[in-house]
């Protein structure tokens, strides 16, 4: 099993003829992802990636001809929001937006549209999703993953990779790993992912990687305390960040109260989540929680 994507997902790559789209679409194909179409306005009818993928002018055309149900977006920030909206109105059920720097004002409109249409958006400013040995949707390196029974949720791209590596080193493989992004407004939250992993019979434990700023980790922990039957290992990045200074992600800024690392760690522990003190301990702590 998996969450969000699997070997049967039919993927369209928006922005496939750009340098980022070309590189990562090729990597996804090599991993075994079922890439059925690409989209670049004005380049419809062309083939790309050694003639493996047909390019369309619009997502609507791509869906009509290929049956695509999943989209990944490699489109520059000024146009990324419209790309998500286009995919949503074309009937795409899962959209992953890799693009960094999407304006918050644009995301307010996107959030409204995807909610109205029932589209699952992951991102923006995220590394994407891997369902191990089935589907790689984004920029995560597939070779670091091993098939197993641990779900991974992270705001951070690089810490997603580190959590996967630490789990693999501890003898724990993954079902699905998802980087949700660290912007102030994103599509899929930690709680959303926990709900999906709780319902997945093959996922037996979950790692969550949070950071300073916002209330998402707290809301997820409180939901898990009431609803989650599976062990969770958590880590909060930014423990040395000074108040009022943004650290890396647009959403990672401490304004006071419960959005500090210390407060989040305390609340996670109060909600029954085992918290790793260091990134290097994630795998060992998760393994101990599974015993």
Catalytic residue numbers, as ranges: 249
β pairing state of 47-48 and 35-39: unpaired
Residue among 184, 163, 155, 157 at smallest CA distance from 246? 184
Is residue 201 helix, strand or coil? coil
Q: Say how far apart CA 34 and CA 53 lie, in whole Å.
A: 10
Q: Say how far apart CA 118 and CA 96 lie, in whole Å.
A: 14
Reading phi first (left if > 0) and then psi (alpha if -120 to 50, else beta), residue 257 is in left
Q: How far is CA 276 from CA 214, 251, 288, in A?
A: 20, 22, 11
Helix (H) or strand (E) holding 36: strand 35-39
Q: Are 209 and 159 in contact (CB under 8 A)?
A: yes
Q: Say how far apart CA 42 and CA 139 lie, in whole Å.
A: 25
Q: Say how far apart CA 256 and CA 58 lie, in whole Å.
A: 45
Q: How far is CA 198 from CA 192, 222, 282, in A?
A: 10, 14, 20
Q: Are 150 and 177 in contact (CB under 8 A)?
A: no
Which residues are CB-neighbours of 243 under 8 A, at least 6 positions away?
Answer: 254, 255, 256, 260
Is residue 234 helix, strand or coil? strand
């Amino acid at each position: 099993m998996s969450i969000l994507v699997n070997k049967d997902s039919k993927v369209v790559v928006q922005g496939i003829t750009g340098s980022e789209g070309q590189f990562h679409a090729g990597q996804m194909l090599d991993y075994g992802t079922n890439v059925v179409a690409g989209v670049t306005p004005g380049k419809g009818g062309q083939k790309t990636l050694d003639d493996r993928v047909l390019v369309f002018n619009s997502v609507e055309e791509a869906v009509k001809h290929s049956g695509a149900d999943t989209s990944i977006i490699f489109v520059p920030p000024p146009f990324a929001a419209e790309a998500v909206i286009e995919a949503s109105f074309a009937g795409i059920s899962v959209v992953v937006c890799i693009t960094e720097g999407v304006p918050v004002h644009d995301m307010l409109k996107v959030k409204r549209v995807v909610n109205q249409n029932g589209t699952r958006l992951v991102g923006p400013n995220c590394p994407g999703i891997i369902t191990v040995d089935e589907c790689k949707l984004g920029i995560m390196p597939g070779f670091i993953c091993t098939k197993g029974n641990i779900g991974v949720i992270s705001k951070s791209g690089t810490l997603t990779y580190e959590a996967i590596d630490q789990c693999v080193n501890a003898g724990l493989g993954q079902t699905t790993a998802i980087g949700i992004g660290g912007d102030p407004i994103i599509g899929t939250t930690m709680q959303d992912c926990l709900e999906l992993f709780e319902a997945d019979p093959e996922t037996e434990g979950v790692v969550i990687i949070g950071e300073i700023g916002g209330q998402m980790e707290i809301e997820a922990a409180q939901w898990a305390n009431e609803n989650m039957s599976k062990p969770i290992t958590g880590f909060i990045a930014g423990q040395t960040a000074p108040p009022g200074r943004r650290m890396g992600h647009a959403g990672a800024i401490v304004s006071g109260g419960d959005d500090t690392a210390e407060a989040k760690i305390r609340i996670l522990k109060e909600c029954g989540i085992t918290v790793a003190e260091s990134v290097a301990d994630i795998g060992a702590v998760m393994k101990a929680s599974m015993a």
